[in-house]
Structure 1
């Protein structure tokens, strides 16, 4: 979750199905055209269903490595005080939800949204870092890039990190990567509101970020839970767990035009509605044989939390 201001976490609340077999991935670069947008009223299909992550806490967000066929999830690390300290657990999964490895990220933030960049045989994660306390939680103040190394623990001072400050004075920073355009989209807090800015990934890595778009996040959407970008559009996930908003819940996806900031569609999602607890958490883009899928994450169960991911594939 992300608060509606960097000072109040609870203020976030005022901000504003069948299971299908996984399709094998063909070798993927970027989708060639990245045209159109997802139809948000189309039904959702399950990608993974009620899978355990490395730690037992709630899924916060995820990203899909389309080149290698892996899912990376992030959650608050097990242990008292981890949330306020910004300690995170990063889990590497197969496309069927089997755990393939993990890392710990100490002091990074809350993991509201992450991105992944395939590079050769490796994968590099893009996350928030340099977390600062926000009530009982933590929020990153910069972005960072690091290579996934199974079993490694990173701190904010680790030499493995490359850090980025893309918008002067911005706080509460997170990011995602659009695999169709190789653009980085960052959500950040500045001068009293949240915004989304778009940069070519190559320009960010070169140390000369070229801002392509910068739009405001509309007010009144609900509890922010993640986002994903495909082509000219960003998709925002909002909503609460069933203990706050009983079934069918208040999970919504909102589509914004990155060029203009216009809200072009908003629809309720009942994906995974039979889940116990059911809290929306994170978004990502999967590309299968050149065709994109808009994915959303759900946390479930009353004890050790489990993770599910659903997708929509209809474009208009």
Structure 2
């Protein structure tokens, strides 16, 4: 795929354990609950059948293991890539957060021990720094059971915060991840209940003030085939990434099985897809890992798609984007 010309990215009532009684009474976040509300104005969506373009390919990160997801600080113009921490087991929930520029040049790292799997997270501008909203308090399977705001601090190691210092906005949820829509200023949360995965959408201000209240939307995640590899939100549509690395030694074989699906969050139903993406199809290994939204200085919204690429012991980060709205 080709780099599009002129690429320039633009710059910027709840206690922690939940709104228990109030949200439970409304039916939020409990097993079998229906869509809580549909209070998001309809917007345009990305046409997933249109071509993808390069942001960068095969860039080094601090460790040698695969990336899991990535997020943009849209004010300070930095990219944060979460990778598995070298030397840790999958069940440990240990992550390495890589700070990079938009050309994919590595700047610094931060180790987060015991936080989670890293399927998705958000990077919120905070003055000249960045506050990461990320899963924490990993369970025995290595998935985060709460969300926490973490000030990115270069070249440091942080243990997961104690349960009392974490946020669990959905009563009854046992796992959490999140992703930000910087254009419409909302946060999407994917969480697990006894009945399976569900999706909630909040105003971004709920996370900035730590006062969550009722979500704008809450619905059961529709069934989408394939291995889940990331998600994000733009306006009234959720985007969901699935797929696997090339089999065997990772040598490129055909177009792979990486698919993107769009979901109408007001209806909780599929809008387009799954649609095969061929972005970076010639890259070695090519495991789909992460989605994120950004808007350029010129006002163009873009849906970014991440891949872990490269050989065993030297995995790299590769990121592409789509920009056609319908």
Q: TM-score, normalised by structure 1?
A: 0.87
How many residue pairs match? The answer is: 291
Question: Which residue number in structure 2 is paired with residue 202 of structure 1?
Answer: 205
User: Which of 234, 246, 252 is residue 259 of structure 2 equivalent to?
Assistant: 252
Aligned partners of 1:85, 1:51: CA distance in 2, in Å? 25
Aligned partners of 1:295, 1:168: CA distance in 2, in Å? 31
8 Å Cα contact 1:200/1:210 also seen in 2: no
Change in CA separation of 1:257 and 1:214 when aligned onto 2, cut-off 3 Å: same
Residue 2 of structure 2: SS of its match in structure 1?
coil
Residue 84 of structure 1: SS of its match in structure 2?
helix
Aligned partners of 1:231, 1:44: CA distance in 2, in Å? 20
Residue 44 of structure 2: SS of its match in structure 1?
coil
User: Which of 116, 119, 123 is residue 130 of structure 2 equivalent to?
Assistant: 123
Residue 305 of structure 1: SS of its match in structure 2?
strand
After superposition, the C-alpha distances for 1:55-81 in whole angstroms (9 at most, x for unaligned) are 1100100001121211101011000x3
CA positional deviation for 1:21: 6.4
CA positional deviation for 1:126: 0.9
Question: Which residue number in structure 1 is paired with residue 278 of structure 2?
Answer: 270
Aligned partners of 1:124, 1:251: CA distance in 2, in Å? 30
CA positional deviation for 1:22: 6.9
Question: Which residue number in structure 1 is paired with residue 293 of structure 2?
Answer: 285
Question: Which residue number in structure 1 is paired with residue 244 of structure 2?
Answer: 240
CA positional deviation for 1:105: 0.2
Question: Which residue number in structure 2 is paired with residue 313 of structure 1?
Answer: 323
Aligned partners of 1:63, 1:27: CA distance in 2, in Å? 14
Residue 205 of structure 2: SS of its match in structure 1?
helix
The 5-angstrom pairing of residues 159-238 of structure 1 reads 163-204=166-207, 205-238=209-242
Residue 283 of structure 1: SS of its match in structure 2?
strand
8 Å Cα contact 1:22/1:96 also seen in 2: no
Residue 262 of structure 2: SS of its match in structure 1?
strand
| Segment drifting more, 219-228 vs 43-52 | 219-228
CA positional deviation for 1:20: 5.0
CA positional deviation for 1:248: 1.2
Q: TM-score, normalised by structure 2?
A: 0.84
CA positional deviation for 1:188: 0.8
Change in CA separation of 1:235 and 1:66 when aligned onto 2, cut-off 3 Å: same
Aligned partners of 1:238, 1:85: CA distance in 2, in Å? 23
Residue 202 of structure 1: SS of its match in structure 2?
helix
CA positional deviation for 1:34: 8.9
Residue 176 of structure 1: SS of its match in structure 2?
strand
Residue 183 of structure 2: SS of its match in structure 1?
coil
Residue 96 of structure 1: SS of its match in structure 2?
coil
The 5-angstrom pairing of residues 288-299 of structure 1 reads 288-289=296-297, 290-299=299-308
Question: Which residue number in structure 1 is paired with residue 16 of structure 2?
Answer: none
After superposition, the C-alpha distances for 1:246-285 in whole angstroms (9 at most, x for unaligned) are 4311111000011110210011101000011111000001
Aligned partners of 2:97, 2:223: CA distance in 1, in Å? 30
8 Å Cα contact 1:51/1:97 also seen in 2: yes
> Which one has a bigger Cα radius of gyration?
2
Aligned partners of 1:91, 1:162: CA distance in 2, in Å? 24
After superposition, the C-alpha distances for 1:148-191 in whole angstroms (9 at most, x for unaligned) are 111121111379x9521011111221000110122111101112
